Amino acid sequence: MISDDYIDARKKGIRAVRQAQAEGRYPYLPALDETLGPEGAALSQVNLHYHEIPLSMVVGTKTVGRQNCFADNYMPIMEPGTEFSSKWDRVLRYQMESGINDPIKCYEYLKKFYVQEGNKRVSVLKYLNVPTIDAEVIRILPERRDDPQIDLYYEFVDFYKVCPLYVIDFSRPGSYRRFVQLLGLSTEEPWPSETVRMVEATYFRFETVFLPKQKSFLKEMTTGDALLVYLSFYTAGSLIDQPRSVIESRIDRLNDEFKSQLSADNISLQKMPAEEDEKKNQNLFSLLFEKPQSYTEARPLKVAFIYNMDPETSAWISDMDIGRIYLENRFEGRVKTLAYSGNTNDELLTDSIRKAAAENADVIITTNPAMMPRTVRAAVHFDKIRFLNMSLNLSHRKVRSYYARMYEAKFLMGALAALYCDDHKIGYLADQPIFGNIANINAFAIGAALIDPQVKIHLEWSSLRDHDWRQSFRDQGIRLISGPEYSWFEHDPSEHGVYRVKEDGSIENIASSHFNWGRYYELIIKTILDGTYDDDPSASGMEATNYWYGYSAGVIEVNISDHVSYYSRKTIGILRKGIISGDIQPFAGEINSQDRQIQPKGSKTLDDESIILMDWLNDNVIGSIPAKEEMSERAQAMVSVAGVREDDIQAEKVEN
C-alpha cells in the first residue's frame, strides 16, 4: 500500500513540473553528463572523499537514467503502485525508523551536486526538509577560461582547502579572499575544526537574521554577499555575542550599503560641477515654490575637517587647511568650519568624529583614503550627518568621495620636464600605488614622450621601507626629477614638483602642481547650501558618488616658475587649453605598457574606470609597482583600502 507521504510528495512534483512547463523550463532533473557533453570526459576529477553536503545544492543526477522519475525539485512523479513508488516508500520508512546513514555518491561541478547513487534518499530527505546529507564527493574541475564565474569557482576551490564548507556562497570574484581577510584567518594552512565550526555558526547566525529582513530589492544578493558588507563594519564575533535585536538594527542601518554592492557599476563619477546658472530654465512657478535657504549667519552650516597630521608639520595638510579657511570666508557667515588634526590612528579618528558630531557638525570631511573604513562606519550610525572622504573609487553610498583628475596636471608637467631634459632621463617619485596614482605616472610619461620620444622615466617610491630614493636618483645620474607634490618642512622648499639638481647640489624648482582645495570644497558645499546636494542621480539609486573634478572645474593648476622661458610657457599653455577643452586626451590613441599593447593607433581615450584602476606602467617607464609588503606600515594602510591591486579590505573593526 502506497503511503500518504508518497502521494503528497508526488503532488509537489507534479506541481513543479507544470510550473516549469508554464515558464518554459526543463521540468525534470538535469543530468550532468548531458550538461558537460563529450568534452566532460576530459575534465580533471578530484576525489574529496566523504563530506556532509547541503541538500539545497543537490540539483540533479549524474546520468540520464533516473532524471525523468523526479521533478526539478527532486520530488517523485512516477505513478503510485509502481516499483519506484514502493522503493521510495521503503526509504522513507527507513529514515523515520532508523535514519539514513549510508552516504550517497555524487559529483560536484561548479558548487552543484549531481547524484550517481542515492537519488531516492535525496528525494526523501528533501521531502522531509532535512538540510544536509552525507556523501562521497567527486569534484569535476571546469576548464579555466575568461569567465568571472569560473574565476569565482576556482577561488572557492582554494577557500575549500582551508575551510571545507559549501554553504558560504558569493556572487563576485574576490569575495572569498576578502571574506578570509575580514576574518583575519590564514589562506595557506587548513583551519582547525573548531574554527570551521565557528565560521559556519557565524554564517548561519547572520542568515537567520538577514533572510527575514531581506528587502525585495535585495533578492539578488546572496547571504554571503550581505555578510561581507556586515563584516566590513562589525566583527564576526558580534554575530555570536550580540542579541538578535542589535544585529537586526545593524542590518537595517546597512540597507544603503547593501544596495550599493548589488550594482556591478556601483560608482557614479561626477566629473563636472553643476552649472552656476543651473536654475536659468526654471519657470516662475517653480521659483515661487523653491525651498528656502536653511543656513544663515545665525544658523550656519557646520563643516568639520579631520586631518591625519597637523598643518604645522605637513605642507599637504596646511594647504588643505588653507582651503578650509577659504571656505569659511567664501559664504559670508553661512558656513562655519571645525578642524581636528593629528588623527594618526583609528581610535583618534573615531574620537574626532564623535567630537564633531557632539558639536552638531552637519558635514564631516575626512582627508585621507585610509580613513574611509572608520568614516563609512560612522556614517551608518550618524545618519543625519553628511560624510565625505578624500579618495577615489571607493563604493560606499553613505560617504561621498572626492579627488582631482591630477593626471591632467601630470601630463603637462611631463611635457615641461622634457623641455628641460638634455639627457633623456627624468626621475619620478611616487608615494603609494593607490587609485589614480598610476594614471599620474603614465600621464607624466606620455606628456614627456610627446616632447622627447627618447625620454625614459625612472620611477622611485617614497613609501618603500629602508629605501633612499634620493640616493637612487644620484646613483643613476638623474638630476631632473618630478618629486613630491609638496615640499617637506625639513628639506629644501624647492624640492617638490618638477625640479633640477644643479652641479653644486642646489635645487632649482621648475613647476609644481597645485590642488585648489578651497575651490573644491566650495563647489561641493554650495550644493548643500542651494539644496541640490541630494538631487544627484546617484542619491536615489544604488551608486556611490565620487567627485572627480579636473582642470575645467578650476580645482587643479600647474604653477610654473618665473625663470621658465616664454616659449616653454607658451607650449604648456597650448597643451593646457587642449586639456580644458577636451581636445587633448593623454590616454587617447596608441598606448603601450612595459609588456603589452593597451590600445592600438586611432583608439579613443581610455574610459574612466580603466584610468582609475590602471595597474600597468607606460613603455617608457623604468621601474615597477611595488608589492604591499615592501612598503611602510602607513603606506600599507592606504593600499589596503585604496590600492590598485588590493581588495577593498576594511580597517580593524570595533564594537563600540
Strand ranges of the sheet holding 425-430, from the earlier edge strand across to the other edge: 556-560, 507-515, 498-501, 480-482, 425-430, 456-461, 621-622
Kindly report the CATH number assigned to the domain that includes residue 81: 3.90.1530.10
| Cell numbers placing 189 | 594552512
601-607 mean pLDDT? 94
- Residue 528 is assigned to a structural domain of this protein: yes
In the chain, the number of structural domains is 4
d(Cα 439, Cα 410) in Å, to the nearest integer? 9
Q: In the listed set 113, 143, 173, which residue is the last one of a domain according to the structure?
A: 143
pLDDT, tens digit (0-9, with 9 covering 90-100), for 477-530: 999 999 988 766 556 677 889 999 998 889 999 999 988 999 999 999 999 998
Average pLDDT over residues 105-119: 96
- Residue carrying the nine cell digits 550517481: 116
Average pLDDT over residues 132-145: 95
- Given this model, what pLDDT does residue 654 score? 34
Most confident of 191-200, 388-397, 623-632: 191-200
Max mean pLDDT among 296-310, 523-537, 641-655 falls in: 296-310
Tell me what pLDDT residue 531 has: 87
CB-count exposure of residue 75 (10 Å: 0-12, 13-18, 19+) = buried
How large is the average pLDDT for residues 551-567? 93
* Confidence band of 651 (pLDDT split at 50, 70, 90): very low
pLDDT at 636: 82
The answer on pLDDT for 109 being more than 90 is yes
Is residue 503 included in any domain, yes or no?
yes
Domain that holds residue 197: 161-262
Q: What is d(CA 656, CA 636) in angstroms, rounded to the nearest whole number?
A: 25
CB atoms inside a 10 Å sphere around CB 505? 8
H helix or E strand, kind and range, residue 380: helix 372-381
Express each pLDDT in 346-387 by its tens digit: 899 999 999 999 999 999 999 998 898 889 889 988 989 999
Residue 401, φ and ψ in degrees, nearest 5:
-105, 155
Tell me the sheet residues that pair with 76: 70
- Asked whether the predicted pLDDT for residue 543 surpasses 80, the reply is no
For the chain, give the mean pLDDT.
88
Mean pLDDT (whole number) for 259-280: 64
Same-domain check for residues 492 and 616: yes
- Same domain (yes/no): 497, 624: yes
Identify the pLDDT of residue 14.
96
- Helices 255-262 + 223-231 axis angle, to 10: 120
The answer to whether residues 248 and 356 belong to one domain is no
Whether 24 has a pLDDT exceeding 70, the answer reads yes
Residue 131, in any domain of the structure:
yes
pLDDT reported for residue 282: 43
The pLDDT tens digits for 433-491 are 888 899 999 999 999 999 999 999 999 999 999 899 999 999 999 999 999 887 665 56
Terminal Cα-to-Cα distance of the chain (whole angstroms): 63
648 in a domain, yes or no? no
Q: What is the dihedral of CA 286, 291, 295, 299, to 10 degrees?
A: 140
Q: How are the residues of the chain apportioned to helix, strand and coil, as percentages rounded to the nearest 5?
A: 40, 20, 40
The percentage of the chain sitting over the pLDDT mark of 90, rounded to a whole number, equals 67
CA distances from 343 to 311, 316, 500 (A): 12, 15, 35
Q: How confident is the model over 76-82, as a mean pLDDT? A: 93
Closest CA to 317 of 342, 294, 290: 342
